[in-house]
Structure 1
Amino acid sequence: MGSRGRNDVKYRNPCLTMHQPWASLLVYGIKRVEGRSWPAPIRGRLWIHAASKVPEQETIKAMEDFYREIYAVDGITDIKFPEHYPTSRLLGCVEVVGCVTREELTSWEEVPEGVRLEGQTDFCWLCEQPQKLIVPFEMRGFQGVYNLERKIYESAARGLMLVTPPYPVKCPLPNPRDAFSLKPRSLASSLNISGSSKSEKSESLTAAIAGARAAATQFSKNHDVIQFNEVKGGDEPISSRTRRSAT
């Protein structure tokens, strides 16, 4: 199944619907890599919408444990997780600065080790500069990347506040003049692709990764509208099937 290219759709105010807790973790800047089975079709601001499924406490715990462990690799132990994981709400936005393959990310020594450990899917969307809505508001979501309605965008753009992530990361672009210069396989020639992180994983980190994968796998089995890949959610591109709402 082919994914959509950046020229196939004109994105004005692109938005992505995600399940919780992944959606809030991204908007709070805790989650820095959005994993998908298809490459990111946009660069720049991406609005994040939370789907209607209420997350189970076991899923929340698994993902929070995962992020505690991968941040600890970089010496970060003070992480403030969201108090709530609202559903059917527009939550905020992030800046998509690039997209690389899992093999590229796990071998990319210019980014922190914790970021490399997030590379658990075929394509890794690299996200920076999270902003959250002061008051998330209700809306309907769809599969894939879609445009926000103008009225929703105009209201949302006025209600954003900056987020201070626990460990801000800035991914270097190969060509600062080209937003799409950091794309899948753009780094392959300059990296020693090993396919896995070089550092030895502790027992607690290994267990946290396994728990996050299990939570996402169980989620995908129970909810086949939007599929999840390994440790983070990823829906299939809608280019070859009818778009369905993700409410």
Structure 2
Amino acid sequence: MMGIHPINKLNFRDILKSPSYLVMLNIMLIVPLNSMLQILKTNTGLMEFIVVYVFLMLNVSSYFFLNMLTISLIVISEKSSGRCEYYLANQVDVRRLTGIYSRSSYSLNIGPILLLDILIAGYAMASHETVLLHLFQDVSFVWFAATYLLFTYLATSTLTLISMLSKTPERIRTYLSVSSFLFIFAATLPATFIKKFGFIINGDTIIWFSGSTLLVLAMICASVRVYLSNKLNNEIVILSYKQ
């Protein structure tokens, strides 16, 4: 833990002891991994599309759920408990504190997702699953991975800023929770329409499309992040406690 800010260490210690985070961590690892294994046991004409699409959606949906939880347990909880106000009162710069919160949250939600992908890749190599092996070796996957990491980093940073500036942190918690669940339903729509209208789409196409969509979302998050950063200062954050 050398070189890590003491507030980061405190965040990591608190969250890794949190039953909510540990339960969500197990769900995000066991359920998606089991779902992928069950799908690989099937043998349909749309096998490549199904496997690739489910893999991409598992990555994105797992991020939303874990990010919702880490933002709530770190930023919103520290504002509600008064710990954030204590830091600011002791001359911790609000921009630096926001960056610390953002990095803590991002590390705690992206780490388990990377572990999930490593487990899936390990299974693919051990069982010689050609569809998954092709996915991991294709240049389109590099595109998706790059845009995915960019989007998740900027989304976490933006949501951290929103939570820091919010006068109603509990409402932000509700919005994050509802949005995470709504995404699961929204993610099934493209596959439903593709099947209904008889489109033939391969795995590479859906990867390129997903990566491009994430890049657009990342640009939107970056724009919102710049706008909110200009509004961030100690006074605004401290006054948000008084509402």
TM score, norm. by length of structure 1? 0.23
More strand by share: 1
Task: Pick the structure with more helix per residue.
Answer: 2
| Larger of the two Rg values belongs to structure | 2
